[in-house]
Amino acid sequence: MVKTVGIVGLGLIGGSLARLLAGRDVEVVAWNRHEKPYAAARRDGITCVASLEGLAAEKPEVLFLCNPLKAMPEMLRRLAPVLDRETTTLSDVGSVKAMVRSQVAQAGLADCYVGAHPMAGTEFSGFAASDPAIYDHALWSVTVDETTDYERFLKVATLITGAIGNRVIVLDDQTHDRAAAMISHAPHVVSTALINGLASSPDRNIAAALAAGSWRDMTRVALTDPDRTRAMVEEDADNVEALLRDLADRLTSFADDLHDRDDAALTKFFAAGQPFRDYKSRERESGENGALGADGHIERIVIDIPNSGWQRTFLDSARRGEHVVRFLQPWRAEVETRSKI
Considering only residues 277-336, where is the footprint of its own copies by CB under 8 A?
277, 279-281, 318-321, 323
Does 188 contact its own copies by CB under 8 A? yes
Binding its own copies (rule: CB under 8 A), the pick from 171, 305, 324, 333 is: 171
CA–CA dist 140, 162 (Å, integer): 13
Is the Cβ of residue 48 or residue 338 nearer to its own copies in the bound state?
Answer: 338
Is the Cβ of residue 67 or residue 229 nearer to its own copies in the bound state?
Answer: 229
The nearest distance, CB 157 to its own copies, in angstroms, is 16
CB 167 within 8 A of CB 138: yes
DSSP-H helix ranges across 148-202: 150-161, 173-180, 186-199
CA–CA dist 239, 178 (Å, integer): 5
Does 1 contact its own copies by CB under 8 A? no
Nearest to 13 by CA among 138, 105, 97, 104: 138
Does 178 contact its own copies by CB under 8 A? yes
CB 199 within 8 A of CB 207: no
Number of residues that bind its own copies (CB under 8 A): 93
Looking at residue 92, what DSSP letter applies? E
Does 270 contact its own copies by CB under 8 A? yes
Nearest to 166 by CA among 25, 326, 315: 326
The nearest distance, CB 318 to its own copies, in angstroms, is 5
Binding its own copies (rule: CB under 8 A), the pick from 258, 301, 302, 328 is: 258
CA–CA dist 180, 224 (Å, integer): 18
CA–CA dist 96, 208 (Å, integer): 34
Contact characters 233-252, its own copies, x per CB under 8 A: xx--x--xx-xxxxxxxxxx
Name every residue whose Cβ is closer than 8 Å to that of residue 335 and which is 6 or more positions away in sequence. Answer: 300, 301, 302, 303, 317, 322, 323, 324, 325
CB 334 within 8 A of CB 165: no
Binding its own copies (rule: CB under 8 A), the pick from 51, 102, 147, 201 is: 201
Does 215 contact its own copies by CB under 8 A? yes
Is the Cβ of residue 82 or residue 133 nearer to its own copies in the bound state?
Answer: 133
Binding its own copies (rule: CB under 8 A), the pick from 50, 133, 211, 301 is: 211
Binding its own copies (rule: CB under 8 A), the pick from 69, 182, 265, 298 is: 182
Binding its own copies (rule: CB under 8 A), the pick from 34, 70, 86, 274 is: 274
**Which residues, numbered 20-59, are part of the site for its own copies (CB under 8 A)?**
none
The nearest distance, CB 227 to its own copies, in angstroms, is 7
